[in-house]
Amino acid sequence: ANFIIGLTGGIGSGKTTVANIFAELGITLVDADIVAREVVQQGSIGLNNIVQHFGEQVLLADGSLNRARLREIIFQDASQRLWLNSLLHPMIRETMLAQCKEAQSDYVIMVVPLLFENGLDSLVDRTLLVDISPELQQQRTVARDAVTAEQVKNIIGSQASRAEKLSKADDVIDNQGEISALKCKVQALHNLYLSLANNS
């Protein structure tokens, strides 16, 4: 497919829930979180580069990446963090674009939590924001994960503001209602995206 929709939204907004409805309609998903793991899986160029740079200390006994150790290193050293990002970000971008190109559906949904924050909106043809209030983000994330409201609040604070994302997105899905109400909204967007994709 060569028509790409960038799906984004803050923590706990409902990106996965919305993406799964598009998938049920036959649309291929390309997920930034999954690609970020693929580029450092065992045997990958990404993991080899990381081991060359940081040494075997960043490997677990089974040869896979020790994420906790790597996180610790880059947390303590901003220059190492920059090094790692400049290695991985281009690999993640290229892999996502390659997966989009291979996809057989009429258009592709690229799911990217930090789409605007990381400037990945420049890679897509159109952006779709899943929008809920910060209060609901907190409530739903605390119900889903073993985290405190305070921790969720800090993550929300580290992401682009609701207003900024609303001003940048081409399309917005309000996910403050019931999950059952989402299907209709996704179907309407699906129809729009099919016509945009087929006229592009």
Binding positions for ligand ATP, 160-179, rule CB under 6 A:
175, 177-179
Confirm or reject binding of residue 46 to ligand ATP (CB under 6 A): no
Q: What's phi and psi for 172, nearest 5 deg?
A: -135, 135
Under the binding rule (CB under 6 A), the answer on residue 11 touching ligand ATP is yes
Which of 6, 12, 58, 128 is close enough to bind ligand ATP by CB under 6 A?
12
User: How far apart are CB 9 and ligand ATP at their closest, in Å?
Assistant: 5
Under the criterion CB under 6 A, does residue 14 sit at the interface with ligand ATP? yes
Task: Indicate the residue among 6 and 14 with the shorter CB distance to ligand ATP.
Answer: 14
Distance CA 64, CA 8 (A): 29
Whole-angstrom distance, CA of residue 42 vs CA of residue 107: 31
CA distance 191 to 171: 13
As a whole number of angstroms, the distance between CA 121 and CA 32 comes to 13
Distance CA 6, CA 51 (A): 32
Residues 131-150: x/- map of binding to ligand ATP (CB under 6 A)? ---------xx--x------
Strands 171-174 and 126-131: parallel
User: Is 6 one of the binding residues for ligand ATP (CB under 6 A)?
Assistant: no
Chain residues in the site for ligand ATP (CB under 6 A): 9, 11-17, 113, 140-141, 144, 175, 177-179
